[in-house]
Amino acid sequence: MLKVGIIGCGGIANGKHMPSLAKIKEVEMVAFCDIVEERAQKAAKEFGAEGAVVYDNHKKMLSEQKLDVVHICTPNKSHAEISIAAMEAGCHVMCEKPMAKTTADARAMAEAAKKTGMKLTIGYQNRFRADSQYLHKACQKGDLGEIYFAKAHAIRRRAVPTWGVFLNEEEQGGGPLIDIGTHALDLTLWMMDNYDVKSVKGSVFKKLSNQTQTGNTWGDWDPKEYTVEDSAFGFIQMRDGATIILESSWALNTLDVAEAKTTLCGTKAGADMADGLRINKADLGSLVTVTPELNSGGVAFYDGNKLSCSDFEAQQWIDSIINDTQPVVMPNQALVVTQILEAIYESAKTGKQIDF
């Protein structure tokens, strides 16, 4: 039985991590930590094993508890510090996306994993959707040929998260780019299996955040608290010449919305997730669009049971620990995502292309 500790008992822990871990018979959640102790107490009551303990300080938790696994669900700024401390305490670490606020922090996390021998993975759960799994297998088989152009889509019209620290640049490192753009970019790089970046050019906008009557999904935001961008865009060139366009927004005057999706253009075929998964190609002299029949209820796993992408993510992560295999999301992959995001912000700030 793996003993698991949860650090950060807020929205993402309650919405994804703890419910999925609770379904895995080889796991028991024995320690919960949050700077607001009431949140940790609530989580322990709902998801904890008998005798589960509660902390408001992660260092104390790591020093007092002998844990096998730690899930880190805190603001981006603290990802590196807590992840490294947990690995040095002998714990395997699942850290929520993005890997870290900065490239330096992400690199330190990857180095800590190598040094300690602990497993480290990042919470890019969109890889585990049925459409993502199908498309990734098609890419691995070579069905699309050489993928030389792609788009990473993370566009919301008006869906600015107004709770927690999402609008706080110091805590998060940015807005929609680092929050949801990171998912779309991770998907795209994973499909292409291309992490060798040559250069990045970026544009970042803060054009709508001063508005008060917003039509926002989660209610009007406070312009004084909105310290991050409302949209950001990147032009990414890989060393083999492949090109990726990354688009992200929480607030943008557009009807062309898509989140955590990718468009891929290869020499044999193309694919997109705009309206379900579609694969397009030329066949027998005609242009053909194929729409695979996917299981909308989730991904078939092990005995054929259907799991949500979050459940699938948690199951494969725990399975990788039990069987000593590699998790699906590797630290070196997540590090490149953070490098690109940071380069887009830096390029927008300086007006220059960032060369890797």
**List of domains in the chain:** 2-123 (3.40.50.720), 127-302+336-355 (3.30.360.10)
Tens place of pLDDT per residue across the chain (356 aa): 999 999 999 999 999 999 999 999 999 999 999 999 999 999 999 999 999 999 999 999 999 999 999 999 999 999 999 999 999 999 999 999 999 999 999 999 999 999 999 999 999 999 999 999 999 999 999 999 999 999 999 999 999 999 999 999 999 999 999 999 999 999 999 999 999 999 999 999 999 999 989 999 999 999 999 999 999 999 999 999 999 999 999 999 999 999 999 999 999 999 999 889 999 999 999 999 999 998 754 444 444 456 789 999 999 999 999 999 999 999 999 999 999 999 999 999 999 999 99
Q: pTM to 2 decimals?
A: 0.95
The reported pLDDT for the residue numbered 87 is 98
Q: Cα(3)–Cα(69) distance, rounded to whole angstroms?
A: 6
- Region at 8 (left for phi over 0; alpha for psi -120 to 50; beta for the rest): left
DSSP letter at 317? H
* pLDDT of the residue at 302: 41
Q: Helices 103-116 and 79-88 meet at what angle, rounded to 10?
A: 10
What pLDDT was estimated at residue 275?
Answer: 85
Output the pLDDT for position 306.
60
Structure tokens at 339: 């490098």
Please provide residue 280's backbone torsions phi and psi, each rounded to the nearest 5 degrees.
-120, 145
The predicted pLDDT at position 301 comes to: 42
Question: What's the pLDDT score for residue 204?
Answer: 98
Spatial CA neighbour of 105 closest among 81, 72, 73: 81
Report d(CA 15, CA 176) in Å as an integer. 19
Residue 190: exposed, middle, or buried by beta-carbon count in 10 A (0-12, 13-18, 19+)? Answer: buried
Contact of 181 with 154, CB cutoff 8 Å = yes
Tell which residue, 58, 47, 62, has the closest CA to residue 15.
47
Per the CB < 8 A criterion, the answer to whether 47 and 16 are in contact is no
